[in-house]
Structure 1
């Protein structure tokens, strides 16, 4: 008896499933809002496939409104027009991947790009962006498509515009004299967003440009070639701790750029740069770490030693340059 009832239930489920599919197909043929195709977009660092609807008996405004509603569903709590850094306290796992649409970015200035100060250690402090020469009143332009998240005055940055891009990056434009956009404006690359100035902690007129991911700075020159070619270095880039840590770089010179396009690139470079250091008289973990541009914790981890370990003259430890 149980087996017969079980079979009858299975037949009923199959019949109901067929009925539901038939009804869906019937309505999709009649419904002028049926999905026509899906469009790939980058929203808040995520790949999103937005449905594009048939336009029969529907206005462009209706369709745009529907897509806007769907887009808003993917905005997260970090979309903040008040806080300069809404990601405070969030950690990042290295390495992570960035994806770019297109091969070029737009120059942030109309004149020839001259980088006057680079990402890295500068006068005993971290310089978390690059400085590009301009005159007060020159147009400042967005380097990529995106959406304005922040417009306002922020400490040493002075008048600042922050744009979030569809791959999760944010670009910061600082020391501005005049704003040409407002929060939540959709921006195209090359669009003028402000006028250059000397606001905030600035020594002479220049554009201070930062590139951030989840609130933490990335060396802009690792991703973009700031020359007349305005090339994005790769459509796929893996970012390691080295390229998000100013003390591994110097503001007075360009770092040696080796772009990681795959995880294997990172592993291969680590093996090539790994070397053995022999401890000398007077050496400490702090001195060795500082000499090689490493954190003490990194040396301890790779050598399985503690921060308070006493080094012996002649002792050999593994040194791997920061990635």
Structure 2
């Protein structure tokens, strides 16, 4: 009779509370050489850390937006492992222009004040997908993160990374500047999911605490359409942290308004607390279009 000690190879960093790690004696059958009482050791593979290959789809280093043909279903979920991000500049963040309608065009990011030469860093861990010159944005770095988001850092004066570099949260990406169509030195930061720009202030709190607003966020079209926001003021935030909340909000986002006698676009916009532009876009009409009594208009806040 022999005494054997069971040998367990345990994955470092895993929770092993479910395993019996006591070193019991095992009685061996002298004929077969196998233990009489065989106790299998379970390997809980469901707890193994999933490896996410963020370069598997639409990974292009030569273009700014590789998702032009992608179809995204709304609402969609964004998950964060952390509750904090790293501020993209190493001083107080002063937002000079927000995500929204600006000078007759959609401004799909936020502008953060800086001085040429200020360091610009990555807000989250990720891999550099694009590092190069882009018309309008000038010298630009795009980082793809492990939750599917991409963050853009534009109008740089210098690069500190190249495409396919792995970067950590807070790692230097480049120096701020005025390249491209910049009016004065600033950082133009864009947050995208599969090519769709999201209001960055829905995701990140740009205050001194640098909080991610929620580790689970659901995004509706309200937060991806610059037409529904003003670049001059922060939009009222209503965080959607579950699919149920997101679906319920969709019922509120659109309503039908029936044109009444004496109605004008201005009166309808004021009555519903929205911009004239949002009415025009939602209904594919022009500013000088004739409104008819009984006409139905889609109202999107």
The normalised TM-score by structure 1 is 0.69
Give the equivalent residue in structure 1 for 2:164: 184
Give the equivalent residue in structure 2 for 1:305: none
C-alpha distance in 2 between matches for 1:257 and 1:160: 29
Q: 2:49 aligns with which of 16, 39, 46?
A: 39
Distance 1:276-1:85 versus aligned 2 partners, 3 A rule: closer
Aligned-pair RMSD on alpha carbons? 3.0
1:39: Cα distance to partner? 1.7
Distance 1:233-1:285 versus aligned 2 partners, 3 A rule: same
Give the equivalent residue in structure 1 for 2:201: 221
C-alpha distance in 2 between matches for 1:117 and 1:285: 27
1:283: Cα distance to partner? 5.2
Distance 1:149-1:240 versus aligned 2 partners, 3 A rule: same
Deviations for 1:114-148, whole angstroms, at most 9, x for unmatched residues? 10000011000111100001111000000000000
1:229: Cα distance to partner? 1.1
1:42: Cα distance to partner? 3.9
Give the equivalent residue in structure 2 for 1:143: 123
SS of residue matched to 1:211 = strand
Deviations for 1:229-252, whole angstroms, at most 9, x for unmatched residues? 111111111111111111111100
Gaps in structure 1 of 5+ consecutive residues: 1-34, 45-73, 301-309
Give the structure with the larger strand fraction. 1
Q: Is the 8 A contact 2:131 2:163 kept in 1?
A: yes
C-alpha distance in 1 between matches for 2:267 and 2:278: 10
> Are positions 1:169 and 2:149 aligned together?
yes
Give the equivalent residue in structure 2 for 1:259: 239
Q: Is the 8 A contact 2:219 2:246 kept in 1?
A: no
Give the equivalent residue in structure 2 for 1:280: 260
Give the equivalent residue in structure 2 for 1:124: 104
SS of residue matched to 1:264 = helix
Give the equivalent residue in structure 2 for 1:99: 79
1:312: Cα distance to partner? 4.5
The normalised TM-score by structure 2 is 0.74
Q: Is the 8 A contact 2:279 2:297 kept in 1?
A: no
SS of residue matched to 1:162 = strand
Correspondence list, 1:6-25, <5 A: none
Give the equivalent residue in structure 1 for 2:56: 75
C-alpha distance in 1 between matches for 2:125 and 2:300: 35
C-alpha distance in 1 between matches for 2:296 and 2:180: 45
C-alpha distance in 2 between matches for 1:287 and 1:145: 47
SS of residue matched to 2:50 = strand
Give the equivalent residue in structure 2 for 1:152: 132
Deviations for 1:131-188, whole angstroms, at most 9, x for unmatched residues? 0011110000000000001111101100000000001111000000011111111000
Give the equivalent residue in structure 2 for 1:321: 300
C-alpha distance in 2 between matches for 1:321 and 1:95: 15
1:296: Cα distance to partner? 6.4
